[in-house]
Each structure stands twice: as structure tokens, then as C-alpha cells.
């Protein structure tokens, strides 16, 4: 299996031996003038078990190379033979990986059968498409999630990320996007689980299987309990699979990543083990180039596109963190999740004032969408400005105009909440996917004052404005019946 993972090796490639082991970093001595090239994979024959794959990172001298192991180094000892391969790590791609869960080197992890020997393979390292070959026609990627489609619309073939601290709903939002987009858009889904919990991977696999979209999805996992080398390279393995569908099969691909910050963390662990001096806030000095190596390969070409939606953990809710700021620079859409909104039960907890998209331009999305989005933001911003006054003096101290605006802003925020299909089992509410026209119509109705007399709960966790109207009508009928009886 490992021989296939590094397919492309040539005869009479040099054999070396392990001379030092430092956690996941291994020093290997080769014969003179035969040291393995940087970026290539080597196979460490570790007893009767499966060979351990490692990637060459540094040449220490003419005969010694330092490699990062992509698997567990437990039981490895000095003197263990090492076979060079002469090629980068290669992973299985194509139809064979759909419906499967694999690890960083392309081995099945779902208790299914092994991949056949003739399955196509691609190297995990590849250049980004040249600018001359990239398509730059912005087109909206509809998700059916009201607040995202209205205020931070995704671009087909673009990169979007969800920023948030622990426990604000990044993974749930990504799982909902997998389900809704695979059902709404024909194409392939590739999910990269970088440093996530085993429980989340198991839940995702069951959810995709039950919803019937697993057959069009490939899952690539480097879990939290795996060595840093596996977490560091699993994103590139998923990219190789996505690029094959885009370039060779000309399919649109949805690449979901949870979570890019874990890739940075794994790179930091590797950097320390390799002996590099840390940079700002203790991050690796190669932070910018590592993120760029991953992000710049996500692009659209004429006829097919890779659309990426990524989760980004924000340490201590600090959006000025160097890793978070670096990731921001590569994105077309930024969806910021708010802990305050999550604590109020406003799910999805998308912060309407901080979330944005390069697609928010009247020339691209039309005047009505742009105008509605700006008015929604303006109303919520005005409400936020008045919140301290309301908390200190009460809403009665506001002018009549301000009271009307505050009421509309609160109703808008509740209307932008939405029950998800993936949370039905926990909330008891069936999920909703809402078309953009219905979202705009609902926001316009609230902005124009139609819902001024409605109870706020009538707009909370609904789909379109018609559902809210029905709920409001039923709440008015119920007290009347109670009085009559």
C-alpha cells in the first residue's frame, strides 16, 4: 500500500539509515552524493509492520537529511533502513475516493477495502494555476443560509472562511454547508479534517451517509491525535484530490476545510522540531509561505472551479492574531462568528457588521441585493450604538424614531436566524434552506415596517417571511380563542 502511495519511484534509488529521532523529526544518512531531494517521500522499513512515510525537509550536510514523519514514530530506532522514492508523496484520486475516508497518505480509514493498484495518483505538491489560466468571472454561490447569502455572499471558485473561537458553531455551519450545497449544486465535495476531534469526524461521516450525499464526497482526515506531520500535510492531500476533479474531470468541487488554524499549529510544531527560530507571537517564520502554499492553489479555471469554505479557529477571540490576519488576506468572503450572539441563541451566530464579501458590489449582485444588505447593516449598527443607552436608561428614554429603528433591527437579527438540517435531532426543528429572493423580500418587509407590530419570537428561527407571517397569525388567534372560551 505504501509503495503505491509513493508511486513513481525509480530503480536503484539510494537506501539510507536512521541516525537520530526527535519526536516526529528523523535524521537520515544516505550514501555520499545520493542524499534524497527536498520535498520527496522516503519509506522507513520499520520491522514487520507497515513502512513509515516521511518527507525530506532539510539537508544537514552532504550525506544527512532531516525528514518529517507522516505517521507515528513509536518503536523506531537508529539504524532502521530507509528507502528513497525519488518522488513526492502521492495520494489516490478520482472516482475511487468518493464515498471514502482516507488519511494523509491515502490509506482508507473507514474499514472499507483497499484501493486497487491501478487507481490514479497525484503528488500532494503542485503549483497553483497560472494567472493567465484562472477564471475571474465572479458568480454567486448560493448556500440557502439567509445571513450568509445576504451579507457575505460566497463566490463560485472563491475562498470563504468562518472565523470564531471555540464553541461558537464553526463545525455545525460547515456541516450544514456540505449538506445544502451538495444537494443544491451538482459537483464533488472534498472535506479536509485538519486536527479535528475523532468524534466530529465520526459524526460527519454518519451525517453524510444518512443524508445520501456521501457518494459524492471524499473525506481526508488528519485528526487531533495524529502526529504533527500528518496534520501539516493533510490539507495538501485533500487539495490534490480536488485538483484532479477540477483539472482532469472538469467537475466543480466544493473544498471544505475544518480547520485551517490547526494546519498553522502543526506547522509551528514541525518548525520547532526542525530547529527554526520562532517569529511573531511564537509562530513559525514560514507562516506566510505555508498558508500561501495552501490557499493559492484554490482557484477556478475555465470550465471548472474549486470553491473553498474553511473554518478558522480564533485563539482567545483575538482577530489580530498573526495567523488569523494572514488567512484573512487570501479570502473573498469572511464570515465572522460572534460569541455574544451565540450566547443569546442567535444561530447561526454570524456577526452582521464584521462579515463581508468582495462580491458585495451593486455591479455584481444587483442594486436591490446591495441596497438591502447595506440597510440591514445600517439598522443593526444603529441598534448597537444605542445598546449602552438602553441598558442604562431603558428603551423608553429613546425618541420614537429610534424606538422604531431598534425594534426593526431586533426583528432583522431574529429573522436572520435559521434552523439547520444537521441540528434537527438536537433542536426538534426541521431545517430550512431559503432562496436569496425570499431572504431579500423578508428583510425588505421588516425594513419597510410590515413587522413593526409583530412579536419578535414570530421571526425567530424561521425560513422565509411567509412562515413568520403564519406564526404571527397563529399567535394572535390563540389568545382570542382562549378569551372566547
The answer to whether residues 261 and 224 touch, using CB atoms and an 8 Å cutoff, is: no
- 170 is annotated as an active-site residue: yes
290 is catalytic: no
Which residue in 4, 55, 196, 226 is the catalytic one? Answer: 196
Residue found under cell 522507513? 44
Catalytic residue among 77, 78, 95, 197: 197
Q: How far is CA 385 from the centre of its chain?
A: 32
In angstroms, how far apart are the furthest CA atoms of the chain? 97
Known catalytic membership, residue 243:
no
- Which segments of 70-187 are extended strands (E)? 81-84, 90-92, 101-102, 121-123, 140-141, 154-155, 159-164
Task: Catalytic residue, from 100, 170, 233, 432: name it.
Answer: 170
Helices 198-211 + 170-184 axis angle, to 10: 20
Cβ pair 5, 106 in contact under 8 A: yes
Taking the C-alpha atoms of residue 5 and residue 25, their distance in angstroms, rounded to an integer, is 20
Helix axes 228-247, 287-295, angle to 10 degrees: 30
Q: Report the distance separating Cα 218 and Cα 195, nearest Å.
A: 17
What residues have CB less than 8 Å from 261, skipping those under 6 apart?
Answer: 312, 313, 314, 315, 323, 324, 327
Alpha-helical segments (H) within 212-256: 228-247
> Which residues have a catalytic role annotated?
170, 196-197
Amino acid at each position: 500500500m505504501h509503495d503505491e502511495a509513493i508511486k513513481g519511484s525509480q530503480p536503484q534509488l539510494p537506501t539510507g539509515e536512521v541516525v537520530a529521532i526527535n519526536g516526529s523529526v528523523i535524521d537520515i544518512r544516505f550514501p555520499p552524493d545520493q542524499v534524497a531531494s527536498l520535498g520527496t517521500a522516503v519509506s522507513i522499513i520499520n520491522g514487520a509492520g507497515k513502512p513509515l512515510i516521511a518527507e525530506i525537509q532539510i539537508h544537514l550536510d552532504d550525506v544527512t537529511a532531516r525528514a518529517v514523519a507522516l505517521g507515528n514514530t513509536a518503536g523506531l530506532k537508529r539504524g532502521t533502513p530507509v528507502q528513497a522514492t525519488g518522488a513526492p508523496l502521492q495520494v489516490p484520486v478520482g472516482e475511487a475516493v468518493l464515498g471514502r475516508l482516507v488519511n494523509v497518505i491515502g490509506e482508507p480509514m473507514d474499514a472499507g477495502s483497499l484501493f486497487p493498484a491501478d487507481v490514479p495518483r497525484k503528488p500532494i505538491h503542485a503549483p497553483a494555476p497560472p494567472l493567465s489560466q484562472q477564471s475571474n468571472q465572479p458568480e454567486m454561490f448560493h448556500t440557502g443560509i439567509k445571513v450568509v447569502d445576504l451579507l457575505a455572499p460566497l463566490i463560485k471558485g472563491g475562498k470563504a472562511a468562518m472565523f470564531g473561537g471555540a464553541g461558537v458553531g464553526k463545525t455545525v455551519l460547515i456541516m450544514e454547508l456540505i449538506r445544502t450545497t451538495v444537494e443544491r449544486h451538482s459537483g464533488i465535495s472534498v472535506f479536509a479534517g485538519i486536527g479535528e476531534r475523532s468524534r466530529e469526524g465520526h459524526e460527519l461521516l454518519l451525517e453524510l451517509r444518512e443524508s445520501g450525499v456521501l457518494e459524492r464526497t471524499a473525506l481526508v482526515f488528519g485528526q487531533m491525535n495524529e502526529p504533527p506531520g500528518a496534520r501539516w500535510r493533510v490539507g495538501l492531500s485533500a487539495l490534490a484530490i480536488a485538483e484532479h476533479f477540477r483539472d482532469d474531470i472538469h467537475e466543480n468541487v466544493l473544498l471544505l476545510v475544518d480547520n485551517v488554524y490547526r494546519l498553522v499549529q502543526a506547522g509551528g510544531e514541525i518548525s520547532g522540531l526542525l530547529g527554526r527560530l520562532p517569529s511573531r507571537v511564537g509562530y513559525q517564520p514560514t507562516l506566510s509561505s505555508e498558508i500561501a502554499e495552501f490557499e493559492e492553489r484554490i482557484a477556478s479555471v475555465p470550465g471548472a472551479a474549486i470553491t473553498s469554505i474553511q473554518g478558522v479557529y480564533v485563539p482567545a477571540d483575538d482577530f489580530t492574531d498573526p495567523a488569523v490576519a494572514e488567512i484573512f488576506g487570501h479570502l473573498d468572503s469572511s464570515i465572522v462568528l460572534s460569541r455574544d450572539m451565540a450566547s443569546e441563541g442567535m444561530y447561526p451566530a454570524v456577526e452582521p457588521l464584521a462579515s463581508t464579501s468582495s462580491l458585495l458590489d451593486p455591479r455584481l449582485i444587483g442594486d436591490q441585493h446591495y441596497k438591502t444588505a447595506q440597510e440591514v447593516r445600517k439598522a443593526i449598527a444603529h441598534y448597537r450604538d444605542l445598546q449602552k443607552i438602553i441598558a442604562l436608561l431603558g428603551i423608553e428614554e429613546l425618541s420614537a424614531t429610534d424606538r422604531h429603528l431598534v425594534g426593526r433591527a431586533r426583528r432583522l437579527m431574529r429573522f436572520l436566524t435559521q434552523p439547520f438540517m444537521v441540528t434537527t435531532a438536537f433542536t426538534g426543528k426541521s431545517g430550512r434552506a431559503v432562496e436569496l429572493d425570499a431572504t431579500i423580500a423578508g428583510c425588505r418587509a421588516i425594513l419597510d415596517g410590515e413587522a413593526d407590530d409583530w412579536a419578535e419570537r414570530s421571526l425567530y428561527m424561521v425560513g422565509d417571511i411567509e412562515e413568520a407571517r403564519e406564526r404571527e397569525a397563529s399567535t394572535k388567534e390563540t389568545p382570542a380563542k382562549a378569551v372566547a372560551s
